[in-house]
Amino acid sequence: MNVQPNVRIAVEDINPAGGKTILLLHGWPLNRNMFEYQLHLLPKYDYRCVLMDLRGFGDSDRPSDGYRYNQLARDVNAVVRSLGLTQFTLAGFSLGGAVALRYLSLFPGAPVEKLCLFSAAAPAFIQKYGSPHGMTKMQVDELIRQASSDRPQLIEEFAGLLFAQPHSDAMFSWIKGLCLQASGIATVQTAIAMRDEDLRSDLRKITVPTGIFHGRQDQFCPFAFAQELNRSIANSQLFAFDHSAHGVCYDELDSFNERLVEFLQQK
């Protein structure tokens, strides 16, 4: 799907005849395939599942620019408009959660009826005045340097931060494979965006029911992010996972899926 004249975004539409719709946005530096274990479940509840690879990731085009949150949100809007989505749930993991928040802020008339934030990289990914949680700028600068010089090693270390529970070597290999499908440019440029963007002023514009799903053992986007989101988004619920790290949708898979469905089915 073309979102700009020379930028094509990969979109997957599963169970298009479903009575309800959820649009899923992946995290850094993954792609839409990270949601494999939700796609076994959601169509059983009559959900049409729309997934997109953010520019530079997965099967989408890899332009040299356009990786700030505003452009990523405009890409989401182009997909929503092209598919004619109405009254849908928007869900985002990590970077995808940040993009989802900017999308709702930038397009206040968007036909979103619920928002799901999974381990969201928000409100601010690095420590800022008034927001003391997360990495320091120096730590993210080192992450960016590593992405620019030894991306495979960065991915190895990132995969280790995803899990608090034991997983098979094959699972680690799969996750690392998804991450390595990303372009180097997108990996670096979205890390710069996460470092520099600040979503605190966006949060007051969020009015839809919001479910915040976050692991207490998250070392990439600390649990304090979820608590701050819960305090700042008026109509929000916090679903805490005591035994999960950043990969909240893997560490406690059954519990995560059950609570996600619980939130989606709330009137």
As annotated, the active-site residues are: 94, 218, 246
**Which tokens go with 54?**
């953010």
Q: 143-150 long-range contacts, Cβ below 8 Å, gap at least 24?
A: 143/191, 144/188, 144/191, 144/192, 144/195, 147/184, 147/187, 147/188, 147/191, 148/184, 148/188
The torsion angles phi and psi of 52, rounded to 5 degrees, stand at: -135, 145
- DSSP state letters, 102-117: HHHHH-TT--EEEEEE
E strand or H helix at 50 = strand 47-52
Residue 241 sits at the vertex; the CA angle it makes with 239 and 243, to the nearest 5 degrees, is 180
Task: Please name the residue that has the structure tokens 């929000």.
Answer: 236
